[in-house]
Amino acid sequence: MLNRYCATILLLLPAALFAWDYEDDASASPYGNGLQSGDNGNSGTSSFSSWSVATNGGNIFCLSTTVYGGSGTINTGGRAWGVRARGGTFDSDSPIITRGFSSGLPVGTKISMTLESGNLDFGGSGDYIRAGIDDGGTTGSYLYWSGGANWDINDAGTADTGIPVSTPIRVIWTLQSGSSYDIEVTPLTTGTTYSASRTLDVTSAGVDGVFIRAHADTVASERVIYANSLIIDETGTLPVELDAFMVE
């Protein structure tokens, strides 16, 4: 009830506050029949490529996060984008979805999306779920889980957010230079926001896309990650309070 009340207030604020360059979520009409390469529900003005989907032996879908072990917290219109791995040889059958920027992003740009884990059953040491920003060749910065208790960060180094992987989150990356950025990881249920200034793992090309990926190293294991409510804000004014606006 509180989230819906907050959303009503936010919708009454001046439209300029929500003048994001790009916004897309799983409730958009292109995702009514699932998620395929070429899908794009962009409701903003920035040039942002369509989704590229590579199943690599796994599953890519657009449905409620409750189908494969999630809570439904990040759903919009009853669904979210999902990636599911069910075992195989390391890195050779990891399903992944990616989306590129058509041009470089200025300093101060904020990139945001919601994330939720699904089933994380027994598996091998190489299992993981990941979601983040990259430069098409290097990892950039991503949230991940690989057998621990919490959402962790991988970039030029690593960090533990202290937020349990079972907790749905909103992540906001703020670009500060070609190699530095600020990150905020906010629980969408209960918990404390993790925030830090960190260094990207990128080449000279800089950040040019987002990705969501899962890998299950053994046949007996299952790894599922969901994402939704993707926002690119080149004005740098994206408020954290939009967590209430983005989820049902």
Residues near 1 by Cβ (< 8 Å), separated by ≥ 6? none
Arithmetic mean of pLDDT, 160-171: 98
Q: For position 46, what pLDDT does the model report? A: 56
Average pLDDT, the chain: 83
Q: For position 7, what pLDDT does the model report? A: 39
94 pLDDT band (50/70/90 cuts)?
confident
Per residue in 24-70, pLDDT (tens digit) is 999 999 999 999 999 999 876 656 789 999 998 889 999 999 999 99
- Residue 106 pLDDT greater than 80, yes or no: yes
153 pLDDT band (50/70/90 cuts)?
very high
Q: For position 1, what pLDDT does the model report? A: 42
* Residue range of the domain that includes 116: 2-246
**Higher pLDDT, residue 69 or 244:** 69
- Looking at the 3D structure of the chain, how many domains does it have? 1
Return the minimum-mean-pLDDT range out of 61-65, 163-167, 231-235: 231-235
Arithmetic mean of pLDDT, 80-88: 88
Arithmetic mean of pLDDT, 113-123: 88
Q: For position 188, what pLDDT does the model report? A: 97
CATH number of the domain at 206, please. Answer: 2.60.120.200
Q: For position 52, what pLDDT does the model report? A: 94
Q: For position 14, what pLDDT does the model report? A: 39
242 pLDDT band (50/70/90 cuts)?
low
205 pLDDT band (50/70/90 cuts)?
low
DSSP states of the chain: -HHHHHHHHHHTS-GGGG--SEEE-TTSGGGTT---TT-----SSS-BPPPEEE-TTSEEEEE-GGGGT--STT-BTTBEEEEEE---STTTS--EEEEEBSSPPPTT-EEEEEEEEEEE-S--TT-EEEEEEE-SSS-BEEEEESSSSEEEEESSSEEEEEEETTS-EEEEEEE-SSSEEEEEEEESSSS--EEEEEE-B--TT---EEEEEEE-SSTT--EEEEEEEEEEETTS---GGGHHHH--
179 pLDDT band (50/70/90 cuts)?
confident
